[in-house]
Structure 1
């Protein structure tokens, strides 16, 4: 019986070769990925040398500009002891303890370990940090500033506190996968000044792009949670709040100028008012920051907007009388809002910390109603023993339907951008425990 000799082009041999090649590529790719994903632990230190007071004070100023405490302090918790939940589209991440506690904090971290975490997103043990920690921005920090921040946090009182476990689904709970995310979206590197700009602008750019990581909230993100560079500062979100666009996409009626931004960044601007939600936390952190730093931030941010600034007067127009929802909203507004908001505003001698018209507020003119709903639900209150805007919370008084009617009325009267889509759905999602209609007040004229 003749035995057929296998040729190089025989199908079985060719398939085996393809399979072998594919397997080899898979193995080599896996080894390469592991090499990229793996980072060695940095040896712990027994103690941290005491830093000079001026170095600690410099770090404190930087921490305020980076509003570090706002993320690393849980509600009612000790400063910098972590535990604050940070909601993301992929699950909840809890901020870590960055006090110098040796067991649960970073008390055994060297400056090298701290620097690696800030600039590469790798902790002392070699684990990848989730990019909810904005190392993608902090990578631009100078050596001196990283050292000053290290000196400051290591001078804090140690607090023994373990952050709750993150709640991320499989496989997102596997930290080595972040190495792949970094390959796609992260580029390490220091901030490079623009030689064509002045010192103040470059300082503001450094603060905004690196330390204050403004784009982390004010930029759009892709489906993997990375900032879209081509859509920087076109609006984003933070902690369930909408973050307005900074630049040509801004919906603010009064133009943003360097002067108005400088006032706003320390708490209040007569044309734009103040901030609530995550931005309110940022402004609170700015207390005690040098005026030159705030002016630099304002200089850079103002350069993002078109110049000369567009002249858009705040809108205030009559509403259709044949729309029952808007009529109900007008009645609620008259009973709950008009006393303060029809006073002419602080600039005209009216209620302090009140703008002349709600048409000046981006929460009313912007494309997303969440900020307005948050404020209507939770109100606004200044810090204890501090002056600032104040507004009652209506979350326990108005029904979800009443808040929907009120928001629709404000939108129709003070904006020409058209009704918000799915407004009722958004209100009910943010007010799941609103009172039922039968227990509501008579603000809308119903028995």
Structure 2
């Protein structure tokens, strides 16, 4: 055999071996379907525990389309690689999970594999859910299987090539999935361990509050450093001590349960529905979450503070007029609303003190929708009222007038980008 033939043969063996490994990683057997279990087959205590688990996992937030039935899927989830549509997790046997056994459900939660064996996209945060206890997985299954069945098929995902094919997810899982229930740290108390389980596991906070790498995995070593989700910046959870007013545990608990914190601001965007869910769980769970988050604070680089600048630049001066016309009645120092409902001054706003103007632009463009009887977080949207330049001027003004930090750069370009992203959703 010639040297060239030997090299070709060796290369063929390597390719065959790699293909074999790939097939072994990507292939998963189907789990037999079952007849949808009767609701009466699940005891009330397990269903109640499941309601708590599902609320802590924010399942309804991602699996309910705007105007759709709860848990029936269809919500578009924007990713850097295209749009993924949330699946139906009601007990409908044809379009939902009605014919899934507990084993099939557990495999999906722990390994990201559907009942029929196909790999699930990691927009479903199974890399975090895998840390749930067996008890919590079973409770969530009981709760979901006793919801109203809804016959609804999610639209087809719209992803770029080759990510529109699922088998390559097997390699993604090798890099990022570490299956198994989370073990307690014996050196920490029960509240800290509970908080870690909820933050790292069921609550999957790092999914939104961490930067992602080029293939959509959380950047190694950068957990909780902040990320971007649905066009909003998810602030760094490990920098809460560096806020203009460092967060206290009680403020964080209040914020997570009500969507408001007197010295920080109000929840908006994708965080607002999370607080709605956390309002339904026992306060001890939220206390544990807050305790753990405050335990992971890291020293932050010093930010140069500047004296309050007022409306000095031409853009900020124009913004001052817009603020007087559209914002001062709620946010001005003499506004009655400043003394009602513990509305914080803009000087402490996370968005206005952020390193980029993204969330301030997003808040002005999108506002905070009317929440029925609970209108405390309401703010009208100005996307149809003001141009990109006007919104940039307004953002520049509130930054100059209320923050002790320097002016943002390229504000109008950020506004235009955010508006474009919003219009594409």
**Is this a same-fold pair by TM over 0.5?**
yes
Further displaced range: 184-193 or 157-166? 184-193
Q: TM-score normalized by structure 1? A: 0.88
Contact 1:381/1:388 (<8 A) preserved: no
Residue 131 of structure 1 aligns to a residue in which SS? Answer: coil
Shift of 1:343: 3.2
Deviates more, 1:148-157 or 1:270-279: 270-279
Q: 1:170 aligns with which of 161, 173, 178?
A: 161
Alpha carbons 1:353, 1:389 under 8 Å: kept:
no
Shift of 1:145: 0.3
Indicate which of 295, 304, 309 corresponds to 2:296.
304
Secondary structure of 2:212's counterpart equals coil
**Do the aligned partners of 1:265 and 1:283 also contact (CA within 8 Å) in 2?**
yes
1:238 matched residue in structure 2: 229
Q: After superposition, what is the alpha-carbon deviation per residue over 1:269-306, rounded to whole angstroms, capped at 9, x for unaligned?
A: 11112200011110011222111111111111111225
- Number of matched pairs: 418
Deviates more, 1:381-390 or 1:202-211: 381-390
Q: In the aligned structure 2, how far is the partner of 1:335 from the partner of 1:174?
A: 52
Distance 2:403 2:87 in 1: 42
Q: Please name the residue that 1:368 is paired with.
A: 356
Question: Matched residues in 1 for 2:185 and 2:17: separation?
Answer: 42
1:329 aligned residue: 319
Contact 1:317 1:413 in 2 (8 A): yes
Are 2:240 and 2:294, in contact at CA under 8 Å, matched by a contact in 1? no
CA RMSD of aligned residues (A): 2.4
Instruction: Describe the shift of the 1:54–1:311 C-alpha distance in structure 2 as closer, same or farther (beyond 3 A).
Output: farther
Other-structure match for 1:142 = 133
Task: Please give the secondary structure, in 2, of the residue aligned with 1:210.
Answer: helix
Structure 1 residue ranges, 4+ long, deviating more than 6 angstroms after superposition: 309-312
* Bigger Rg, which one: 1
| 1:377 correspondence with 2:365 | yes
Which ranges in structure 2 are unaligned for 5 or more consecutive residues? none
**Which of 254, 266, 275 is matched with 2:267 structurally?**
275
Q: Give me the whole-angstrom Cα distance separating, in 2, the residues matched to 1:387 and 1:334.
A: 22
Could you tell me which of 282, 287, 294 is aligned with 1:290? 282
Larger CA deviation: 410-419 vs 232-241: 410-419
1:337-378 deviation line (CA, Å, top 9, x unaligned): 2222223688x96243521x2121111111232221221112
- Structure-1 residue corresponding to 2:66: 75
Question: Which deviations, in whole Å up to 9, do the C-alpha atoms of 1:393-415 show, x marking residues without a partner?
Answer: 21221121100111111222333
Distance (whole Å) between structure 1 residues aligned to residue 75 and residue 209 of structure 2: 21
Range moving further from structure 2, 147-156 or 57-66: 57-66
Structure 2 CA distance, aligned partners of 1:209 and 1:334? 43
- Partners of 1:343 and 1:249 in 2: CA distance: 25
